[in-house]
Amino acid sequence: MTALPVSEAGLDDAPMTLADGLFRDRVVLVSGGGSGIGKATAWMMARLGAKVAICGRTAERLLGVETAFRDRGWPLLAQTCDIRDEQAVESLFDAVEARFGLPNILVNNAGGQFALAADKITPKGWRAVIETNLTGTWLMMQTAAQRWIAASRGGVVVNVTAANERGMPGIAHSSAARAGVVNASRTAAVEWAPYGIRINCLAPGLVDSGGLSVYPPEARAGFHRANPQRSVGHPWDMAQIIGFLASDSARYVTGATLTADGGGALWGDLWTIERPVFFSDTQQEAADHVS
Ligand SMILES: CCCCC/C=C/C(=O)SCCNC(=O)CCNC(=O)[C@H](O)C(C)(C)COP(=O)(O)OP(=O)(O)OC[C@H]1O[C@@H](n2cnc3c(N)ncnc32)[C@H](O)[C@@H]1OP(=O)(O)O
Ligand SMILES: NC(=O)C1=CN([C@@H]2O[C@H](COP(=O)(O)OP(=O)(O)OC[C@H]3O[C@@H](n4cnc5c(N)ncnc54)[C@H](OP(=O)(O)O)[C@@H]3O)[C@@H](O)[C@H]2O)C=CC1
């Protein structure tokens, strides 16, 4: 696969297959837009003419994007918001409406987890990950839908989940939360179709964002083996898929989950924690373990 640029300058020139002006004057809210996939998506939307709003918990991350957008003359609203806090979510939507109007597109990308063996996860840790990835994502999509319904307007949601078809060893809490998002999306896609609301999920495999730094080096060293392409994806790859799902080209697609994992659901070996010896590569190591 061709290497894609990771720097901000790279995001300005990264190859684009979506049409010029595709999102001209659309209002796009991207959660977790201060880094990684969310930042690449914010950039792509701005390049395609959108008015972009981003949120995240860390002001410094948002400020970096704010400065870059100002330098390029792109409109941006950046607001700190913990998506687990319903009051903060309401305030965020109020701020976006006041600045740009009701969003047309919500990219529900904020999320994450810590890697830990399933038997070691504490109740508090479980709740933190479920509340971030399931409850937070839900609060954002429900708030968007309530406002679209009240305004008699349609809208589009793209939820970023994770490729979890074969489970995700080392992040059981996140795997459960993402499965919840996929099924909530299917359900809401039916309930909200009469209002002209589409909801789809993008399930990334391993993507070379700064977010991967939270994983142990021994796990990261094996990430390229997690799929038959034997490579990790780039945030820009994810951004362009989000762009497709958010666009009218996907107007007949709702309740779907698009997996972008280099074929990892079909073949490959993912461990987000150190691989137990039982699953080790060499026959000798495995034999040692059995005997
Ligand atoms: C094929 C698919 C592959 C999937 C690969 C996925 C890759 C990615 O997703 S990359 C993006 C990664 N980015 C992140 O994960 C960053 C976001 N993560 C977080 O912010 C945290 O992990 C969070 C989800 C737990 C939320 O943080 P917060 O609410 O601030 O929670 P605390 O830090 O206060 O922790 C609460 C509680 O959780 C337990 N815990 C947290 N971190 C760890 C850890 N490293 N190890 C073990 N346990 C942890 C712990 O119980 C914490 O409570 P206290 O012990 O009282 O601190
Ligand atoms: N990179 C990968 O391989 C994969 C990533 N994903 C998912 O894709 C999404 C983007 O991840 P990626 O760009 O790679 O990694 P990042 O860690 O760079 O992005 C996660 C973003 O979410 C924000 N965020 C996390 N928790 C909250 C919260 N409670 N409220 C508001 N914002 C929050 C973070 O900002 P802040 O910390 O400032 O709040 C950050 O900007 C995440 O949901 C991730 O789990 C899924 C599969 C694989």
pLDDT the model gives residue 45: 98
Ligand 2 centroid to residue 214 C-alpha, Å: 11
Tell me which of 85, 114, 135, 173 to substitute to probe ligand 1's pocket, judged by most ligand atoms within 8 Å of the beta carbon.
114
CA-closest candidate to residue 259, choices 138, 167, 162, 184: 162
Q: Is 125 exposed, middle or buried, given 0-12, 13-18 or 19+ CB atoms closer than 10 A?
A: middle
Answer whether 35 contacts ligand 1 (Cβ < 6 A): no
Residue 45 maps to which CATH number?
3.40.50.720
Mean pLDDT across the stretch 78-86? Answer: 98
Residue 123 within a domain: yes
Does residue 290 surpass a pLDDT of 60? no
Q: What's the confidence (pLDDT) of residue 279?
A: 86
In a domain, 251, yes or no: yes
Kindly report the protein residue whose alpha carbon is nearest to atom 30 of ligand 1: 128
- Indicate whether 12 belongs to any domain: no
22 compared with 9, residue with greater pLDDT: 22
Residue 228 has pLDDT above 90, yes or no: yes
* Domain-located, residue 84: yes
Report the domain count for the chain. Answer: 1
Q: Are 241 and 163 a contacting pair, CB within 8 Å? A: no
Domain that holds residue 132: 18-290
Residue 100 has pLDDT above 60, yes or no: yes
In the predicted model, is pLDDT for residue 218 greater than 90?
Answer: no
In a domain, 5, yes or no: no
| Mean pLDDT within 118-140 | 98
Give the least confident one: 37-46, 164-173, 274-283. Answer: 274-283
Q: How far is the CA of 44 from the centre of ligand 1 (A)?
A: 28
Domain assignment of residue 9, yes or no: no
212 within ligand 1 shell (Cβ under 6 A): yes
In this predicted structure, what is the pLDDT of residue 74?
A: 98
Q: What separation in Å is there between the alpha carbon of 88 and the centre of ligand 2?
A: 18
CA pair distance 6, 27, nearest whole angstrom: 25
pLDDT at 9: 76
Query: What is the arithmetic mean of pLDDT over 71-85?
Result: 98
For 145-188, what is each residue's pLDDT tens digit? 999 999 999 999 999 999 999 999 999 999 999 999 999 999 99
The whole-number pLDDT of residue 8 equals 75
